[in-house]
């Protein structure tokens, strides 16, 4: 039997996306977004939402370029801090001791300590309420070589990532391999 709990953000899991931008003074900044994900396979694009009051919102509209870094569980505190503090009055990289690196293909910084970096150009901005939804076309993806196999492919099966559960506003670790996708075409017919 199912019970109504009203309007709640009941998507489990949501990702922890670290949006990297340079602000109007050229300062590297990072903001955490859990409202986001892949939105198009071709052109390959990510969508993520940012409130209009955020320092990152201004930088995204001005520069039209950003990175999206994905942290491991070892950096959950830093990722949370990137979400609760503002680059308007803090230097989040200096505060946390993490390292901003200028991305090779876009004018935006990424977090050097995080294993996945997606370089993006903003292609559209959609008004969805208190947030603007940014559509960001993927330019390139960088992977820390610790997580690359010898044949030149990413091997992240055992990488300890984490996710956000917006129902209890908490972070959880990712777990073990379950099954290959696109493998059930003939299983139920």
Q: Which long-range contacts (CB under 8 A, 24 or more apart) does 49-53 make?
A: 49/128, 49/131, 49/132, 49/133, 49/134, 50/19, 50/131, 50/132, 50/134, 51/130, 51/131, 51/132, 52/130, 52/131, 52/132
Q: 9 or 88, CB closer to a copy of itself?
A: 9
- The distance of closest approach from Cβ of residue 87 to a copy of itself in the complex, given in angstroms and rounded to an integer, is 13
Buried (b) or exposed (e) across 132-155, using 16+ Cβ within 10 A?
bbbbbebbeebebeeeeeeeeeee
- The distance of closest approach from Cβ of residue 88 to a copy of itself in the complex, given in angstroms and rounded to an integer, is 14
Three-state DSSP class for residue 57: helix
- The distance of closest approach from Cβ of residue 129 to a copy of itself in the complex, given in angstroms and rounded to an integer, is 4
Q: 61 or 81, CB closer to a copy of itself?
A: 81
Q: 24 or 99, CB closer to a copy of itself?
A: 99
Q: 26 or 152, CB closer to a copy of itself?
A: 152
- The distance of closest approach from Cβ of residue 30 to a copy of itself in the complex, given in angstroms and rounded to an integer, is 12
Contact between 52 and 5 (Cβ < 8 Å): no
- The distance of closest approach from Cβ of residue 59 to a copy of itself in the complex, given in angstroms and rounded to an integer, is 20
Q: 61 or 159, CB closer to a copy of itself?
A: 159
Buried (b) or exposed (e) across 75-102, using 16+ Cβ within 10 A?
bbebbebbeebebeeeebbeebebebbe
- Rounded distance between C-alpha atoms, residue 26 and residue 109, angstroms: 10
- The distance of closest approach from Cβ of residue 25 to a copy of itself in the complex, given in angstroms and rounded to an integer, is 20
Q: 62 or 184, CB closer to a copy of itself?
A: 184
């Amino acid at each position: 039997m199912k019970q109504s709990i009203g309007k709640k953000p009941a998507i489990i899991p949501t990702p922890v996306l670290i949006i990297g931008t340079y602000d109007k003074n050229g300062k590297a900044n990072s903001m955490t977004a859990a409202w986001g994900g892949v939105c198009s396979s071709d052109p390959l694009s990510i969508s993520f939402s940012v409130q209009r009051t955020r320092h990152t919102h201004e930088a995204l509209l001005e520069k039209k370029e950003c990175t999206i870094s994905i942290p491991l569980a070892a950096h959950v505190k830093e990722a949370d801090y990137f979400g609760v503090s503002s680059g308007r009055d803090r230097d989040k990289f200096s505060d946390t001791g993490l390292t901003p690196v200028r991305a090779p293909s876009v004018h935006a910084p990424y977090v050097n300590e995080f294993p996945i970096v997606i370089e993006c150009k903003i292609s559209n901005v959609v008004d969805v309420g208190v947030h603007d939804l940014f559509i960001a076309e993927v330019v390139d993806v960088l992977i820390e070589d610790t997580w690359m196999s010898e044949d030149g492919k990413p091997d992240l099966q055992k990488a300890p990532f984490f996710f956000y559960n917006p129902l209890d506003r908490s972070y959880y670790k990712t777990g073990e391999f379950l099954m290959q996708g696109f493998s059930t075409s003939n299983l139920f017919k």
